[in-house]
Amino acid sequence: MSMPTPPSLNKPKHVSYWLRCLKTCLPTDYTSTDLNRLTLGFFTIAALDLLGALSNSTSLEERAGWIDWIYHNQLPSGGFRGSPATFLYGAAPHWDPPNLPASYFALVTLISLGDDLGRVEKKGLLALLPKMQRSDGSFGEWLGPDDEVVGSSDMRFIYCACAIRWVLRGRNGDGIIEGVKDIDVDRCVSYIASAETYDHGISEKPFGEAHAGHTYCAISALALLNRLQPTDTGISSSDNIVRWLVSRQIPFEARDGYDEEEIEELITEGTEETRLQATHVEVDADNHPLWAGFNGRCGKRGDTCYSFWVGGSLDVLKKLHLIDVKANRRFLLEKTQHFIGGFAKLPGPGVPPDIMHSFLGLAALALVREEGLNRLDAMLCISMQAKERLMEMDWWKNAPVS
């Protein structure tokens, strides 16, 4: 009798997947992410950093070149554009605006590449943050003509603003940058609290549906602001949120001979009995499912990225040990890890890997200390080494920023 192969991370395949993303053109399908090139760049660099492959698979010259490219996307008055696509050779600067997520991703990619942020327009970028904050405490995505705050109000931009503030102002946020107006922290915290839902996840805004991506951004933003402890004006209590988070873990359901469409129909229109007949969950001797990933909202399917959004939230709350680590790990390694490297969004044949899910799959595994991966700081979403490098930089520790 042959023993089943234990699940493992196919590290060489992941490294080659990411080196391909790094050194050759991404397929045309990525056109819809063209305005988020700095985000894609972050995923690529941070993935190789987690795999420990940055310094041995790329040269110092290459890394210096990528660092220059990121600075090439810095705006003269501070902040970064989302992509070279908006660069207008200096004309109509209001149509080549700073973008909040891009500014966050630029900083963390630079740190991951070993840069000291010496060329970052720190004052300019920090001064942008209060300009991009709305009166309800939320932040916009970018600053439009006449300083109009543009973009939806949701947790993603709050997170980016808080992370930029933490990186540039230091962990207490107090004062190493003199004369630069700070964001309104209280309003930001109360916006987050107002988006806590009746089932105690966090939504994009008051009365929206709880969503694990927004929850991660909200929890991490509070941690970056040192405001994770419940207060009268803050989120209710971490117990409530932990319950919502752990409830996101769901067993992988094998589909007994039905195709995807038939299953969807059975799930939405069938009774519990017909559904149970069509699918089954494999369990071990203790009745624990063998494979169990996470969904991002109540009643949705398991998806690679939510292993990170939920796992990261729980890690920030110091409660990651409450999930079924083993079943989550097996879900990622045996159900969504792709044979060419990277991770697919969903299990099943014919789902190709993509950059976002490939990074978040690795990040989720790094949280639970997968062998062969560097450890991840859940709050900043970069490797522990990268974060420590930042914290050791003289200007971060004590020097006033010029």
Partner 1 sequence: MSLYSRDPEWEDVVPLPQDDGVHPLAQIAYTEEYAEAMAYLRAVMAKDEVSERVLKVTEDVIEMNPAHYTVWLYRAKTLFALGGDLRKEQIFLNEMALKHQKNYQIWHHRQLIMEKIGDVTGEAEFTASMFEKDSKNYHVWSYRQWLVRRFDLWESPSEIEYIDILLKKDIKNNSAWNHRFFVVFGRDKDVPKEIVDREISICEDAIFIAPQNPSPWNYLRGALKKANLPLSTIEKTCLHYAPLDNPDKIKSSHALDILADIYMEKAEKEQAVMALDLLAKKYDPIRANYWNYRAGLIRGV
Contacting partner 1 within 13-52 (CB under 8 A): 21-22, 25-28, 30-38, 40-41, 44-45
Residue type (1 letter), 101: P
Residue with Cβ nearer partner 1 (52 or 270): 270
Residues in contact with partner 1, shown as a per-residue x/- string from 358 to 397 under the rule CB under 8 A: ----------------------------------------
311 belongs to the binding site for partner 1 (CB under 8 A): no
**Token pair for 218:** 């909200």
Burial class (CB in 10 A: 0-12, 13-18, 19+), 392: exposed
User: DSSP of 293-310, one letter per residue?
Assistant: EE-SSTTPPP-HHHHHHH
Contacting partner 1 within 257-276 (CB under 8 A): 267-269, 271-272
CB of 161 to partner 1, least distance (A): 17
Is residue 251 classed as helix, strand or coil in its secondary structure? strand
Q: Tell me the sheet residues that pair with 149.
A: 143
CB of 109 to partner 1, least distance (A): 8
Cα 329 to Cα 191, 249, 304, 308, distances in angstroms:
34, 12, 11, 11
Contacting partner 1 within 53-82 (CB under 8 A): 62, 65-66, 68-70, 72-73, 82
Cα torsion at 125, 131, 134, 140 (round to 10°)?
-50
CB of 396 to partner 1, least distance (A): 24
Maximum Cα–Cα distance across the chain: 72
321 belongs to the binding site for partner 1 (CB under 8 A): yes
Residue type (1 letter), 28: T
The answer to whether the CB of 102 falls within 8 A of the CB of 81 is yes
Residue with Cβ nearer partner 1 (3 or 25): 25
Residues in contact with partner 1, shown as a per-residue x/- string from 332 to 351 under the rule CB under 8 A: --------------------
Q: Tell me which of 16, 247, 279, 385 binds partner 1, using CB under 8 A.
A: 247
The 8-class DSSP code of residue 382 comes to: E
Q: Tell me which of 181, 280, 288, 369 binds partner 1, using CB under 8 A.
A: 288
12 belongs to the binding site for partner 1 (CB under 8 A): no
Q: Tell me which of 8, 55, 59, 152 binds partner 1, using CB under 8 A.
A: 152
Residue with Cβ nearer partner 1 (66 or 166): 66
Residue with Cβ nearer partner 1 (42 or 343): 42
CB of 59 to partner 1, least distance (A): 11
Residue with Cβ nearer partner 1 (150 or 399): 150
Give the ranges where 287-383 is alpha helix by DSSP (H): 304-316, 325-330, 355-367
286 belongs to the binding site for partner 1 (CB under 8 A): yes
CA distance 22 to 29: 16
Contacting partner 1 within 81-120 (CB under 8 A): 82, 84-89, 91-92, 95-97, 99, 109
329 belongs to the binding site for partner 1 (CB under 8 A): no
164 belongs to the binding site for partner 1 (CB under 8 A): no
Cα 179 to Cα 78, 164, 182, distances in angstroms:
16, 17, 9
Contacting partner 1 within 192-211 (CB under 8 A): 197-199, 204-211
Residue with Cβ nearer partner 1 (159 or 396): 159
Contacting partner 1 within 129-148 (CB under 8 A): 141-142, 144-145
Contacting partner 1 within 208-227 (CB under 8 A): 208-211
Judged by phi (left if over 0) then psi (alpha if -120 to 50, else beta), residue 89 lies in left
Residue type (1 letter), 136: D
The answer to whether the CB of 111 falls within 8 A of the CB of 54 is no
Residue with tokens 């660099």: 45
Contacts with partner 1 by CB under 8 A: the residue count is 87
**Residue 303: which residues within 8 A CB-CB, separation 6 or more?**
293, 294, 295, 296, 345, 346, 357
The answer to whether the CB of 279 falls within 8 A of the CB of 255 is yes
CB of 171 to partner 1, least distance (A): 28
Of 328, 325, 344, which Cα lies nearest the Cα of 336?
A: 344
